[in-house]
Amino acid sequence: MAATQRTGAVSPPRRRDSPPSSSSSSSSRRSSSPPPPCPVKSLAQFGQLAKDVLYGNRTEGLYGSPGASKFVISSTTGGGVTLTTTATSSSISGSIPLSGQVVATYSSPSPGGSWLGDLLLTSGGVAEATLSRTIHLPAPAAPPEGGEGQPRPVKPLPPGKVVVGCVVSLPALAEKAQMMPPKITLDYSGNYLVAKSSATVAPKPLLTANAVAGMGKVALGGEAAFSSATRRLTRWSAAAGWIDDRQHIGLTLTPATTGGGGGGGGSGKATLLYGYSLRPGLALALEATADPKPAWEAMFTPPPPPPPPPSGAAAEAGSAAGGTALTPAAAAVSKGGGFSAVQPTFALGASYRLPGKADGGGGGSGGSGSGGGSGVVKFKVSSRGMVSLMYRDTLSVGPRVTLTAELDGLDPSRGPKLGMQLEV
């Protein structure tokens, strides 16, 4: 009987030494996976879905300038040089009737990185050459194979890269008014951080830097420019974003420009971008912009100190009038009732991809303009009363055509402004 009791006493350790269950093993495997990388790679990608709907993109077409016609032709030579020629004609009074530019790009892959060069010539007198070298950082060592009950090794994320470049104006081709000092750039692109910086080659250089960091669905970013001549920030901005499979939310704050001559009296800007994908090929977007400075001053700027108490008849008149001194911003908000004095501007838009022949009546998942004959229709309306419409499609012979129209909803008698872009 005693032996039976001792056996029962030592049996629990044998159960603890048993192999782990499948649930604990799978949990260990999941915990060994690295977090997802940053969802955006530049400040311009905050609220990207809303920007695609309200402004367009290269794949689905751009709204461009109302009343302008653009012709784009691209070709690649046998040596690997890509030439892109753009000609723009505008019918709007006060604008340049005809303008154009030529961009030549060449890329030379090499072990450990690549060279990239491009030349930009415009009818406005700009002539710039850019040369950059991409250096791929070494990949991290793969983790060793785990034993029995150990987490399964995961594939490491791709390594980062560094890009070193320079931008120079060509004196023989550029107009004197368009000449810019040479600029050196240094960029880093990783899984959780993307940073870009530049400095002009001058006795008192202009320094710029921007960075985006995040993981999973959240990203934060910022930008700043520092002038060595004035020893102050000439501009800065901050951004935050949330990105998932169906919605993109981006908030950007750009304060008043300090400028080189001092004085930050300009207006800042807070921009909210929200894009929502109802289903593949159908998306809605909202953009709201406001100047937060009046509201900020009304909330946080203290009122001026009260004047010394008057005497005699002046005191009786003052007590009869009553009231408390307010700052100009607080007074403006008070007159408007709450914060109604800060009037935001907004725009609403929608984008719909027409079903192509290969879709069989359903919405495709790829962007239009990449072939297949499926077109894209975009519509937007702004608080200024402007109504815009865009249609983009690929012709059966290959060229892509974009048609735009803009109408003043507050004054329909002005007639629409029509635009067209043809890409070959």
The per-residue pLDDT for 32 is 61
- pLDDT 10s digits, 363-376: 333 443 333 446 89
- pLDDT 10s digits, 289-342: 998 777 666 666 677 777 776 665 555 555 544 444 455 544 544 444 444 444
Give the model's confidence band at 255: pLDDT under 50 very low, under 70 low, under 90 confident, else very high. confident
Question: Which of 287, 420, 271 shows the shortest CA–CA distance to 349?
Answer: 287
Residues 52, 352: contact at Cβ < 8 Å?
no
Paired strand residues for 276: 247, 284
Confidence (pTM): 0.74
The per-residue pLDDT for 96 is 66
Give the helix/strand (H/E) hosting 199. Answer: strand 193-200
**Residue 171 neighbours by CB distance under 10 Å:** 10
Overall average pLDDT of the 223-241 stretch? 94
Residues 347, 324: contact at Cβ < 8 Å?
no
In the chain the first and final C-alpha atoms are separated, in Å, by: 94
Domains of the chain plus CATH, in order, are 35-137+159-303+336-423 (2.40.160.10)
Mean pLDDT of the chain: 79
User: What tokens were used for 212?
Assistant: 């985006």
Instruction: Return the percentage of the chain with pLDDT > 90, whole number.
Output: 46
User: What tokens were used for 276?
Assistant: 């929502």
For the cut 90, the answer to whether the pLDDT of residue 237 exceeds it is yes
Overall average pLDDT of the 368-396 stretch? 80
Residues 101, 88: contact at Cβ < 8 Å?
no
Overall average pLDDT of the 245-274 stretch? 76
Integer Cα distance of 397 and 388 in angstroms: 28
What are the φ/ψ torsions at residue 316 (nearest 5 degrees)?
Answer: -65, -40
Choice among 112-116, 128-132, 332-336, 376-380 with the minimum mean pLDDT: 332-336
Question: Which residues neighbour 329 within 8 Å (Cβ) at sequence distance 6 or greater?
Answer: 293, 294, 297, 298, 301
Integer Cα distance of 77 and 265 in angstroms: 51
Amino acid symbol at 12 = P
